[in-house]
Amino acid sequence: MKDIILKAENISKQYRLGQVGTGTLSHDLNRWWHQVRGKENPYLKIGDTNDRSTKGESDYVWALQDINFEVERGEVLGIIGKNGAGKSTLLKILSRVTAPTTGNIKFGGRVASLLEVGTGFNGEMTGRENIYLNGAILGMTKKEIASKIDEIIDFSGCERYIDTPVKRYSSGMTVRLAFAVAAFLEPEILIIDEVLAVGDAEFQKKAIGKMQDISKGEGRTVLFVSHNMAAVKSLCTRGIVLEHGKVVFEGGIDQTISKYLQAEKVNIKLKDIKIRTGNKKVLFENVKVFGAEESVTPITGGEMTILFEIENGEMLDSKNIRFDMRIEDNFGQRLAWVSSSLKEIENINNTNQIRLTFLKNPFDKGVYFATIYLGVNNEDADLIENAFSFEVEEGDYFLPGKKIPQGQSKLFVNFEVEYL
């Protein structure tokens, strides 16, 4: 028999854009009058899907719609999706920071959450005082908290500043202490948002190790949101994919990540992206990323092609167009920059495609994010920050079976070694 510790049933969350409540007294009264008579909220029948890239017809939007899932005791559930998919809204509802518009949640234990930098901390109080405050909120006695405080301080690495007001902490120190408090005060359910990305790589590794101990060794439940697929894969046992406020997939973590990445690497319509800068004389329309063939995912050491379609309103020759691309990892660390300005390129009349080819893909297995730029006659035409992401599968860059140890590098380089 399943030991269910958390059950979400028909969770939906509706907002009216730019407003508190429904935004007008008449709407609030209308909703109240329906409620008094035992009738359904009339505003539940309207509202657009949560798709931030399109202009909606209604002032109401569903951040989440009909979310249903169960979590067993000791399970680590990964919640993944693009920015704006509804992940943070779902975690706020599960943490009881905000209430759902419809649906209900059943808990089988205490919940601790780490959603945003500084959440649950009083800036005027010291780190030590905040530890006791958070423990009290979780229903622990002073004696129980005191038995854990040395472990919390040691794990956070903030011992020297533990009696300093939290408002003087850096964001990284705040996250370290907040995670240590949430993890060591023994909640039955631990909810972690992408806030860990603020910490350094060493602490992230330490935090993921602690979460693994919590779930496997102590039998507690973790809900984890991250864009770092490597962390999700190593930590989670099961996952759900959110898209436009709806669950589009639920299953084992490998299948969940594949589903998410599959959705990411399909032909991406860049022309639908609203947040971009430039004079728009030339625009990015679409992009495809593929390996040796169009149907194949790129692998390390194999051929990788990134094919852009561009809208060339003035029918410019390629000699007048400059193309740049910056590639970053999950943590926003810049790994590579390529530019047409570094190459001698044959001039093409009325350019409508740009093909970028890596004959020997230098990127290690993982997910990468690209910022792209087009210039025309030394003027900015189109710049899209974090325009798209792409996945690289494991392959052999060097000899078969010769791998760089995990964590040593995300980028491979050709080199020769001689002993003289």
Q: Could you read off the pLDDT of 302-320 as tens digits, one per residue?
A: 899 999 999 886 777 778 8
Query: Which amino acid would we find at residue 247?
Result: V
Residues 127, 71, single domain; the answer is: yes
Phi and psi at 216, nearest 5°, equal: -85, -45
Summarised one tens digit per residue, pLDDT across range 337-350 is: 999 999 888 887 87
Residue 126 pLDDT grade (very low, low, confident, very high; cuts 50, 70, 90): very high
Mark whether 181 and 289 lie in a shared domain.
no
Question: Would you call 267 helix, strand, or coil by DSSP?
Answer: coil
Does the pLDDT at position 85 exceed 50? Answer: yes
206-259 tens-digit pLDDT: 888 888 888 887 788 989 988 777 678 878 889 999 988 899 999 998 888 877
278 and 379 housed in the same domain: yes
- Clarify whether residues 103 and 232 are in a common domain: yes
Residues 305 and 352 placed together within one structural domain of the fold:
yes
Residues 197 and 172 in one domain: yes
Say what the pTM is: 0.60
Last residue of a domain, one of 264, 291, 317: 264
Report the SS3 class of residue 215.
Answer: helix
Residues 132 and 163 reside in one and the same domain = yes
CATH of residue 316 = 2.70.50.60
Domain count, the chain: 2
Q: Is 420 among the domain residues?
A: no
- For residue 328, give its domain range: 267-392
Q: How confident is the model at residue 27 (pLDDT cuts 50, 70, 90)?
A: low
The answer to whether the CB of 67 falls within 8 A of the CB of 8 is yes
Say whether both 272 and 253 belong to one domain: no
CATH at residue 175: 3.40.50.300
Distance, CA of 3 to CA of 111 (rounded, Å) = 17
Q: Which of 309, 393, 315 is nearest to 348 (CA)?
A: 315
169 and 281 in a single domain? The answer is no
47 has a pLDDT exceeding 70: no
Rg of the Cα atoms in the chain: 25
Q: Do residues 198 and 283 share a domain?
A: no
Work out the average pLDDT over 145-158.
90
Axis-axis angle for helices 142-156, 127-137 (nearest 10): 130
* Count of CB atoms situated within 10 Å of the CB of 32: 11
Specify the pLDDT at position 360: 92
User: In the chain, what are the helix, strand and coil shares in percent, each to the nearest 5?
Assistant: 30, 35, 40
233 in the same domain as 366: no
